[in-house]
Amino acid sequence: MTECTQSEFPFPACKQRKIETDFQGGDITSDAGLLLLRQADRQLGLSRCMARALKDDRRKKSCEHSLEQLLRQRIYGLAAGYEDLNDHNELRHDPLLQTAVDKIDPLGSASTLCRWENRMDREAAATIHEQLVETFIGSFRKPPEELVLDFDATDDRVHGRQEGRFFHGYYDHYCFLPLYVFCGDQLLVSYLRPANMDGARHAWAILALLVKRLRREWPDVRIIFRGDSGFCRWRMLRWMEHNNIKYIVGLAKNERLNDAAMHIHERARDAYEVTAEKTQVFDEIRYSARTWDKARRILVRAEHGPMGGNPRYVVTNLRGAPKRLYKELFCGRGDMENRIKEQQLALFADRTSAHKWWANQFRLLLSSLAYVLLEHIRRVGLKGTDKAHAQCHTLRLLLIKIGAVITRNTRRIRVCMSSNHPHQELFWLVARRMSTA
């Protein structure tokens, strides 16, 4: 049976003029803003450092694409919104993506990229994580006084029979359970884990490695560990106390804990009965679970409203008023969940559809590298603007998805962007800032 591909389609006329459409426009791109990503990458030295650190055991004489070019192709593609490897069978001919990757010939095909991803192993994952931490350290011009490290886990749903997939009762589906570590908006760790383990598994080891490296660079920095109740493990708390690390961690409520804080809950209930408005009372108690080695300071947020009591507990070794610590510091961890959503929804961190475990870990890290570039544009290029806190999908629409006509000859590459792009001034501002390191 002959397969016919339609090349033209007639749309309804406009003002008695025929509308004819095809895909024969020549060298046109919809992603002219990839040049900004290229600038950010050159400013950070991200893909270059990654390529130098990663092992490449391919036979060089048979390789048409360098490791750095493959890295850039995948990272820039994810940042531009192309999650699937099959997209690159056409994207490899995009002249702007070729320019961003520093090539003028077709880039790697989907099969080339797939073979490359499946060569990744534990050593590659460790190397990329080391470089992520080094990039974070290099982003500071002077030593910071304080670093708040946010730890959180999330579900990465799978739909096939990938290595390491397990059913998770809480999320009610088969998934992975990646662990993320952020400091503010900056990403330090994206570590893929099976879903059949404790949500805090390996968090202690990762924290110890991070603290060792950060204190080697900044001996006097104050480090604060922040996490939800899934990371409340008393041995980990004791280790942080012995190593001069501050922590503020959620604590799951239980009857014994509720009884210990009953006098605080009664104050909230009494205040609600007087005002008939939802009331919050902040205080603290000393509490030790039966398995703990000692009693610790517990911040209590007693809330009472029309639906009754709604208590929250936080364990900490920080000094300060309970209300300030809870509302200004602990509640700040909620912003990390937005960063994880950016990873999964905007940069396709949950596109872990490869069969092999380490290929999926590598895909998670590629998404993380794309995030690092966009976060650098947001933090440096958009500083002081009303888009300084825009999410990744917004940055993509504003700065990357720009139509352009491209002409190339032996002397120059000319990128003529749309005259009607509504954010031209913002684009030039970011371009100037990305060109100065």
Q: Which residue has the higher pLDDT, 47 or 436?
A: 47
Torsion of CA 435, 393, 357, 89, to 10 degrees: -80
SS3 167: strand
pLDDT digits 0-9 by tens, 9-22:
778 888 888 887 87
pLDDT digits 0-9 by tens, 407-429:
988 899 999 999 999 999 999 99
pLDDT in the model for residue 7? 67
Q: Which residue has the higher pLDDT, 57 or 304?
A: 304
Q: Which two tokens stand for residue 264?
A: 């605080």
Pairing of strands 179-183, 173-176: unpaired
Instruction: State mean pLDDT over 55-74.
Output: 90
* Amino acid letter, residue 417: M
pLDDT in the model for residue 40? 95
pLDDT in the model for residue 134? 96
Question: If pLDDT is split at 50, 70 and 90, which confidence band does 435 have?
Answer: confident
89 within 8 A of 23, measured Cβ to Cβ: no
pLDDT in the model for residue 26? 75
pLDDT in the model for residue 260? 94
* Amino acid letter, residue 198: D
Instruction: State mean pLDDT over 148-174.
Output: 94
Cβ neighbors of 59 (< 8 A, separation 6 or more) are none
- Measured distance CA(87)–CA(64) in Å, rounded: 19
Q: Is the pLDDT of residue 3 over 60?
A: no
- What is this structure's pTM? 0.92
pLDDT digits 0-9 by tens, 247-303:
999 999 999 999 999 999 999 999 999 988 999 999 999 999 989 999 999 999 999
CA angle 222, 224, 226 (to 5 degrees): 170
Q: What percent of the chain has pLDDT over 70?
A: 98
pLDDT digits 0-9 by tens, 353-395:
999 999 999 999 999 999 999 999 999 999 999 999 999 999 9
Q: What percent of the chain has pLDDT over 90?
A: 85
Pairing of strands 246-251, 222-227: parallel
- Measured distance CA(133)–CA(173) in Å, rounded: 32
* Amino acid letter, residue 112: T
What sign for the dihedral angle of Cα 393, 394, 395, 400? positive
Q: Is the pLDDT of residue 1 over 70?
A: no
pLDDT in the model for residue 13? 86
On average, the pLDDT of the chain sits at: 93
The DSSP annotation for 387-436 comes to TTT--HHHHIIIII---EEEEE-SS-EEEEE-TT-TTHHHHHHHHHHHT-
- Measured distance CA(268)–CA(288) in Å, rounded: 23
Considering only CA atoms, which of 300, 304, 306 is closest in space to residue 285? 300
pLDDT in the model for residue 56? 87
